[in-house]
Structure 1
């Protein structure tokens, strides 16, 4: 029996693409998908994650691998935190049901594998060009854009720390 006073180990929420697809088949209720680098978690990230979770029963978060972050040209020092550190921190959040690290340049393969019902991104995205949006809509799903929280950006934080 699980002790209700002791939280589950966040590692249990970190999946491979294949194990996430298997996990997904066991679910009832809508599965919401979002993705990102989540290098230095900030209030803007939390607001998007909370908004995403409010769109369905379960939230799966795709996390860019270290290699894919480098290909995104976020800067020579990025990512700051390793992919496993970023996945672990996200998995520890109550609103996050599962986390998957993906190595591709886009999360399309992951969105397809988990058959998301809803895809969510932050307000700097156009709902018509979000990767995976067409696939989710083709299955009758929805695409939701959560307004950005002003003043929060990992890139701005990194630049501020550099001085």
Structure 2
């Protein structure tokens, strides 16, 4: 079983975040599937972390990924494997899963100071924006490094190895 102290459930994450807030730390939240970690992911997470003190990563569970219509073969890596890799990144402080299609329950529970998504999201469409802004927080859609996506990477691997999808 793959574990790391940064990987936790909702209640543990909520308790940690409350302690950090009591210490005056600025909480940043982002979310995603992070199925095959690539330079675009690492760059986005690093820039998100720079917007505060503690980066909380809401990670789609395997069920949540499947429900997003990314294909029957997704996720390529299990939640446990994805969370384990992400927990080892210096920029990430907490990894917590969610089963729903969106991380709204996590955002409601944590009420982060900053909410971040990649530049493919318009700010007005970012789930949880109202909660963060209504509590005095900021919401960012950070530009992505062009040419990096899990889908593009999977397509390249399939093409290189002559695998039909």
TM-score range, shorter chain: over 0.9
Q: Secondary structure at the match of 2:108?
A: helix
Q: Secondary structure at the match of 1:79?
A: coil
User: Which stretches in structure 1 are left out of the alignment for 5+ residues?
Assistant: 1-8
Q: Which residue of 2 aligns with 1:14?
A: 7
User: Match for 2:32 among 23, 36, 47?
Assistant: 36
Per-residue deviation at 1:10? Answer: 6.2
Alignment pair present for 1:118 and 2:111: no
Q: Please list, as runs of the form range in 1=range in 2, the aligned pairs for 1:6-85 lying within 5 A after superposition.
A: 11-27=4-20, 28-85=24-81
Instruction: For 2:110 and 2:12, locate their aligned partners in 1 and report how far apart those are by CA, in whole Å.
Output: 9
Query: TM-score under structure 2 normalisation?
Result: 0.91
Q: Secondary structure at the match of 1:41?
A: coil
Query: TM-score under structure 1 normalisation?
Result: 0.92
Contact in 2 for aligned 1:10/1:92 (Cα 8 Å)? no
Instruction: For 2:4 and 2:107, locate their aligned partners in 1 and report how far apart those are by CA, in whole Å.
Output: 21
Superposition misfits of 4+ residues, deviation over 3 angstroms: none
Contact in 2 for aligned 1:34/1:61 (Cα 8 Å)? yes
| TM-align CA RMSD | 1.1
Number of residues of Structure 1 aligned to a counterpart in Structure 2: 155
Per-residue deviation at 1:146? Answer: 1.1
Q: Please list, as runs of the form range in 1=range in 2, the aligned pairs for 1:113-152 lying within 5 A after superposition.
A: 113-152=109-148
Alignment pair present for 1:96 and 2:89: no
Q: Which residue of 2 aligns with 1:4?
A: none
